[in-house]
Amino acid sequence: MKAESSRGEWSSKIGFILAAAGSAIGLGSIWRFPYITGQSGGAVFVLVYLFLVFTIGISLMMAEIVIGKKGRLNAVGSFRRLGGKHWGLVGWIGVIAAFVILSYYGVIGGWTMAYVLKSFTGLISTSGSGEVAKIFEAFISDGKQMLFYQGLFMAATVIVVFRGVSGGIERLCTFCMPALFILMILLIGRALTLPGAMEGVVFFLKPDFSKLSGEVVLSAMGQAFFSLSLGIGAMVIYGSYLPDKTDIPKASLQICFLTFMISLMAGLIIFPSLFAFGMEPGAGAGLTFITLPVVFAKMPGGVLWAASFFVLFFFAALTSSVSLLEVVVSYMIDSLGWDRKKATILLGVLISVVGIPSALSQGAVTINVFGVSFLDAADFFASNLLMPAGGFLTAVFIGWVAYSAGFDGITGGGAVPFRHKKLWMFILRFIAPVCILVIFIAGLKW
């Protein structure tokens, strides 16, 4: 379906929810959430994350979608249209953040593709957790493989974005997300029945408040932004393709709920298994990739389970990377008048090149920034700094500047009832900006 401005429009309401949930659910829930939880002391982190998702997270998601719906342009354009020229800056922060995130997102996305193949070549038949970890180490320190799979993943992303928003993205989500959901439920069943699994459940769900710190809260905020695709205008874009009469609060609640569920499920697979196999929760970025193969090895027909899981994991990552590339591409199309194909290919190549140091920083070459790998540094910069900064400005924007557009957009000009309008505005005006600032200060004080 085409709108008059030749921007696409969602062919159905479910199409929008699937695409927005597809953007949200990805590496953030299945790769990043478990490993950051493991490093941040477990359940306390989960609790803070839960709280942030359903207060600030959901409010900001509604704000972003409304900005897109009222602005009808990409992030930079929509902010400008509703608030004046200098507000385009918020969109700019988003474009830069999307660029940085995608540069390393492509690396991890490549891992999911590689693991589809590795499922068939010995990864699953070696049952020892030590061996699986060794295979992983060898893989990530092999520069050639890193670059090859990163390139492959980025190529896949480019192809989907190439085909435009409602064609490519909607179709991809319709089958994969329900399938992923079902497969993960089966995996939870397997993980929870391993001997020693309960210890992992306790680590993941029973908070130890002595582990609470400014740093943990900052990581939880970063994870909330990352997993919900907030703070960089990605949801602005999806909102800009939205027909007028949409229940944005309901859609946002569904997206937040789904994302939280998938994260929770990933944790319920990974932590019980980890403890059952005597592995380390703080193992870092490889956590998902060194734990799951051991679980699959304990299942009859493990190779097929593994391959199916990594295929779906890859698609989940792809629907997210697509939304990241779309942030950058749509800006070039809307404001510089570039052709979609040209913009997509050019930016896809550029972002891949910028991602090379991240790809190589996992063991092939030592590239450290502030004592962490290049990839971790890029992730910290984008997730814990740029995204919350974008979120802060978005909250202030709808809370204090474009609030009448906000009210109007959230109710579809009065067509959709919304009972919590005041609460929403209160969160955007006071709670979100103050919390983000305080968390910044508390978390960055090293």
363: left (phi over 0), alpha (psi -120 to 50) or beta: left
Q: For residues 60 and 146, which CB has a smaller minimum distance to ligand TRP in the complex?
A: 60
CA gap 10, 363 in Å, rounded: 43
Q: For residues 27 and 60, which CB has a smaller minimum distance to ligand TRP in the complex?
A: 27
Q: For residues 10 and 313, which CB has a smaller minimum distance to ligand TRP in the complex?
A: 313
Q: In 244-273, which positions are buried (b, 16+ CB within 10 angstroms) versus exposed (e)? A: eebbbbebbeebbebbbebbbbbbbbbbbb
Interacting residues toward ligand TRP by CB under 6 A: 23-24, 26-29, 101, 226-227, 229, 232, 234, 320, 323-324, 387
At closest approach, how far in Å is the CB of 228 from ligand TRP?
A: 6
Q: Are 234 and 98 in contact (CB under 8 A)?
A: yes
Q: For residues 26 and 91, which CB has a smaller minimum distance to ligand TRP in the complex?
A: 26
At closest approach, how far in Å is the CB of 303 from ligand TRP?
A: 26
At closest approach, how far in Å is the CB of 269 from ligand TRP?
A: 17
Q: For residues 157 and 291, which CB has a smaller minimum distance to ligand TRP in the complex?
A: 157
At closest approach, how far in Å is the CB of 383 from ligand TRP?
A: 8
Helices then strands, counting H and E runs in the chain, come out as 22, 2
Query: Helices 403-410 and 58-71, interaxial angle, to 10°?
Result: 90
CA gap 369, 291 in Å, rounded: 27
Q: For residues 83 and 391, which CB has a smaller minimum distance to ligand TRP in the complex?
A: 391
Q: Are 82 and 405 in contact (CB under 8 A)?
A: yes
At closest approach, how far in Å is the CB of 24 from ligand TRP?
A: 5
CA gap 114, 13 in Å, rounded: 34
At closest approach, how far in Å is the CB of 95 from ligand TRP?
A: 11
At closest approach, how far in Å is the CB of 232 from ligand TRP?
A: 4
User: Which two structure tokens, joined as six digits, stand for 386?
Assistant: 């740029």
Calculate the alpha carbon distances from 140 to 100, 124, 285 in Å.
20, 18, 11
Q: For residues 60 and 274, which CB has a smaller minimum distance to ligand TRP in the complex?
A: 60
At closest approach, how far in Å is the CB of 390 from ligand TRP?
A: 9
Which residue is nearest to ligand TRP, using beta carbons? 28
CA gap 129, 279 in Å, rounded: 8
CA gap 269, 309 in Å, rounded: 12
The amino acid that residue 66 corresponds to is: V
Q: For residues 170 and 276, which CB has a smaller minimum distance to ligand TRP in the complex?
A: 170
Q: Are 288 and 111 in contact (CB under 8 A)?
A: no
Q: For residues 323 and 352, which CB has a smaller minimum distance to ligand TRP in the complex?
A: 323
Q: In 184-217, which positions are buried (b, 16+ CB within 10 angstroms) versus exposed (e)? A: beebbebbbebeebeebbebbeeeeeeebebbbb
At closest approach, how far in Å is the CB of 61 from ligand TRP?
A: 11
Q: Are 340 and 162 in contact (CB under 8 A)?
A: yes
Q: For residues 238 and 277, which CB has a smaller minimum distance to ligand TRP in the complex?
A: 238
CA gap 407, 417 in Å, rounded: 11
Query: Which residues are within 8 A (CB) of 364 and not within 5 positions of it... i.e. 6 or more apart?
Result: 140, 141, 142, 143, 146
H or E element, residue 214: helix 214-227
At closest approach, how far in Å is the CB of 259 from ligand TRP?
A: 7
